[in-house]
Amino acid sequence: MMKTNAELRGFWENRLSDDWTESGVGYKSLGRAFNLWMYRVRAEAFSREAATLPLDLATARVLDIGSGTGFYVRRWQLLGVKSVVGCDLTHAAVNRLRERFPQVDFHELDIAEPGDTLEPGSFDVVSAMDMLFHITDDVRYKAALRSIGRVLRPGGFFVLSENFLHRLEQRGDYQVNHTLPWITTALDEAGFEVVRRVPMLVLMNAQVDANPVWRKLWGGFLRAVTLTEQTGNMAGALLYPLERRLVRLLRESPTTELMICRRR
């Protein structure tokens, strides 16, 4: 049975209250040390792609959705963006984000039903990193895309990460991995055109779009080498240089990819 919105909100409220770190917002079962290495790869991929957006980032107005620990808020700031607004579903995250980034406005809201908090057409860029696949109701997923389209100016950019499956859709209580055609159709219906899609991770995450045998074997290997924070740190350090190269070399990935879209 699909979880209710209240159950989903409660799950994330409890998770981020208990663990407001990279493991809390990332691949929790692999531990914080490994996640820190994983997020280094994410940071490089995100910054490299976001820096190519054809606009003046110093004067752009950016909205980050599902801000979590503020990881991508910081990435935007490091790219020179001076006007960043963040939002998150949870009270736990928003309270801590306001302490960590006192100069940034943060809103506690559900992007599928944002109300009138966000002014239409007021942002040049919106980012939604590793959060859309946690909207397990397809109707609300599409509503979130429409909300994002409304707050972007015409010609504005939408930067997102998803799993974009070529294989069959995968459904769980707190995550749904949609197919690439399903996502691109939903984006098109919301008024977006895809600019490009590139790997964000390759080996340092669940192999959701890989052969089931490889997916199970590699998942077991990752869990085995991250049983402790010490071994997780060693595994992350060893995989990191390979992962950086794979992300740059490959055109597609069996796990998280980054997509840039433009609002028509």
Instruction: Determine the average pLDDT of the residues in 128-157.
Output: 98
What's residue 23's pLDDT? 83
- Asked if residue 16 lies in contact with residue 93, where contact means CB atoms within 8 angstroms, the answer is yes
Residue holding tokens 């939002």?
Answer: 87
Q: What is the pTM of this model?
A: 0.96
pLDDT band at 90 (very low <50, low <70, confident <90, very high): very high
Average pLDDT across the chain, whole number: 96
pLDDT band at 158 (very low <50, low <70, confident <90, very high): very high
Identity of residue 170? Q
pLDDT band at 25 (very low <50, low <70, confident <90, very high): confident
What's residue 1's pLDDT? 72
Say if residue 24's pLDDT is above 90. no
CATH class of segment(s) 5-263: alpha beta
b vs e for 47-76, b when ≥16 Cβ sit within 10 Å of the residue's Cβ? eebbeebeeebeebbbbbbbbbbbbbbbbb
What's residue 139's pLDDT? 97
Q: What would the pLDDT profile of 97-119 be if each residue is shown by its tens digit? A: 999 999 999 999 999 999 999 99
Give the residue from 193, 194, 219, 195 showing the smallest Cα distance to 206. 219
pLDDT band at 134 (very low <50, low <70, confident <90, very high): very high
Q: φ, ψ for residue 37 (rounded to 5)?
A: -65, -40
Instruction: Determine the average pLDDT of the residues in 153-162.
Output: 98
pLDDT band at 214 (very low <50, low <70, confident <90, very high): very high
Identity of residue 229? E
Give the residue from 99, 95, 106, 85 showing the smallest Cα distance to 17. 95
